[in-house]
Amino acid sequence: MNPVRVRFAPSPTGALHIGGVRTALYNFLLARQTGGTFILRIEDTDQTRYVPGAEAYILESLAWVGIQVDEGVGVGGPHAPYRQSERKALYKPFAEQLVAKGYAYYAFDTEAELEAQRERFKAAGSSTFQYGSQTRMQMVNSLTLAPAETALRLQRGDEHVIRLNVPADETIHLHDLIRGDVQVHSSQIDDKVLMKSDGMPTYHLANVVDDHLMQISHVIRGEEWLPSAPLHVLLYRFLGWADTMPQFAHLPLLLKPDGHGKLSKRDADQMGFPIFPLDWTDPKTRELAKGFRESGYLPEALVNFLAFLGWNPGTEQELFSLDQLINAFRLERIGKAGARFDIQKAKWFNQQYLKHKPTSELTPFLKTELAARGLPIIEEKVARAVGILQERITFPHDLWTEGMFLFVAPTAYDESVAAKKWNAEAVAVIRAYQEALANQDHLSATTAKDLLEQTTQALHIGTGKILQALRLAVTGRGAGPDLMVSMEIIGREGVVARLAHALNTLTVKT
């Protein structure tokens, strides 16, 4: 078997969206698993859709998620350059070779003539105009013009394109590793432009020529390219490369979070699906929700989530490091059915990864928040706080929102909890508890708990009945991490002061 050489071939037309990152990831996994090569090629032949900054965005996104490029833009390699605009001169001879063999032809139709044809078809109520086997003989091209006329026009430099001469009546077969045999009748395919009048190749020609020259073994890309694949099969055959044609795998669509319809760029913009926000496109997208990176997703959690959008290992295991994915990934286990993009699942993965992170990797997030507020940073306290918070958070910034009460006394109390739980019994226990605490010289979670038990027993009140009121007094909230450990972290003096403040501030509603 030839070595695996796969490529990710984005067009720099905007932010790299999440579907693109998945495509890159699957290519990368196959390359790493087989000891093959992962190539990054930038397909920028459509100058009208070029967005400055998009290429840098793609490179940064891949680097952030941990996908390393072996060969390609930003790295170099034996097939450089890897930016199609820089390979411009290379494509034309192939197009001309196709013309010489009768597989393609020069077409001189002006935009006005093409438009007139479209109008004629519309007026006649027939199907929409397609430049192809049914119509090409009525158009202005090297098939209908006398050879001398064609030669003259070319010599004069008349504007023209080169179109593929698609066979009139043929079933084109394509074996897709995910979908099996895919068949398309050639009448469905129009005579696609291969070379544009500006001298640039179109996507189809450049893509096939480069995949061949770069010795690509597998083309793994989104389902939206499946309709183009039969055309590419024809091109491989006409260029004499059918024997070394890459294998195709068209990945399942990503569906909207509710499962209805395709996940669109618009969904992505609105819900913040790019890796990080764009500040270089139009003002509308500047408003966009944060990207994954800014929202606080860990790259390893995002990768794990993306791997499961279309693939599964066939076991119950859900948490996979990148190395484990490299081992477990199989192209054959990618499904055909669309994969629902469920952001809740992405959050679940993030929670799992945060939970299992060494505390030391998360303390910086909390320290930054403390520093920003001019609060003292006591290493041991920060580490302990992260320790009790990390299994409760979805994003690193939740460390502060969930755990600020460990560092600053509440200035307000959750009113609904107060209304339900702040009663005469609670006040009696908390007052007695405050006195008992005042006589302690050190507060540990165990002594906090023992003292509370003693206090409630002496007053014949069940601990469970007043626990939420105590939490309210200490934290201002009705829920949070282990209260006894929280009190130990806050420290005896802090807790006593908080209880006193709550007793002075909160009133028992009768």
CB of 11 to ligand GLU, least distance (A): 4
Give per-residue burial for 362-382: e unless 16+ CB within 10 Å, then b.
bbebbbebbeeeeeeeeeebb
Q: Are strands 180-185 and 171-176 parallel, antiparallel or unpaired?
A: antiparallel
Strand ranges across the sheet with 161-164: 104-107, 161-164, 193-195
CB of 194 to ligand GLU, least distance (A): 15
Residue 231 or 432: which CB sits closer to ligand GLU?
231
User: Choosing from 256, 262, 265, 336, which is the catalytic residue?
Assistant: 265
Residue 165 or 207: which CB sits closer to ligand GLU?
207
Is 182 in contact with 1 (CB distance < 8 Å)?
A: no
Q: In whole angstroms, how far apart are CA 396 and each of 216, 300, 363?
A: 40, 14, 9
Q: Are strands 193-195 and 180-185 parallel, antiparallel or unpaired?
A: unpaired
Residue 41 or 160: which CB sits closer to ligand GLU?
41
Compute how many other C-beta atoms are within 10 angstroms of the C-beta atom of residue 118: 13
Q: Are strands 247-251 and 218-222 parallel, antiparallel or unpaired?
A: parallel
Residue 9 or 432: which CB sits closer to ligand GLU?
9
CB of 46 to ligand GLU, least distance (A): 9
CB of 9 to ligand GLU, least distance (A): 4
CB of 359 to ligand GLU, least distance (A): 41
Residue 203 or 311: which CB sits closer to ligand GLU?
203
**Residues at the contact surface with ligand GLU, assessed by CB under 6 A:** 9-11, 43, 203, 207, 221, 225
Is 223 in contact with 217 (CB distance < 8 Å)?
A: no
CB of 370 to ligand GLU, least distance (A): 44
265 given a catalytic annotation: yes
CB of 60 to ligand GLU, least distance (A): 17
For 219, phi then psi, to 5°, come to -100, 105
Cβ contacts of residue 288 below 8 Å, gap of 6+? Answer: 269, 270, 272, 274, 277, 278
Half-sphere exposure of 279 (CA within 13 A, CB side): 1
CB of 83 to ligand GLU, least distance (A): 12
Q: What ranges in 337-444 are assigned the alpha helix state H?
A: 343-355, 359-372, 379-389, 398-403, 415-421, 424-438
- Cα separation, 288 vs 138, whole angstroms: 49
Sign of CA dihedral 498, 500, 505, 510: positive
Strand ranges across the sheet with 37-40: 71-72, 37-40, 5-8, 218-222, 247-251, 171-176, 180-185
Give the chain's radius of gyration (CA, Å): 32
Q: In whole angstroms, how far apart are CA 25 and each of 295, 307, 377?
A: 21, 7, 39
Cβ contacts of residue 361 below 8 Å, gap of 6+? Answer: none
Active site residues: 265
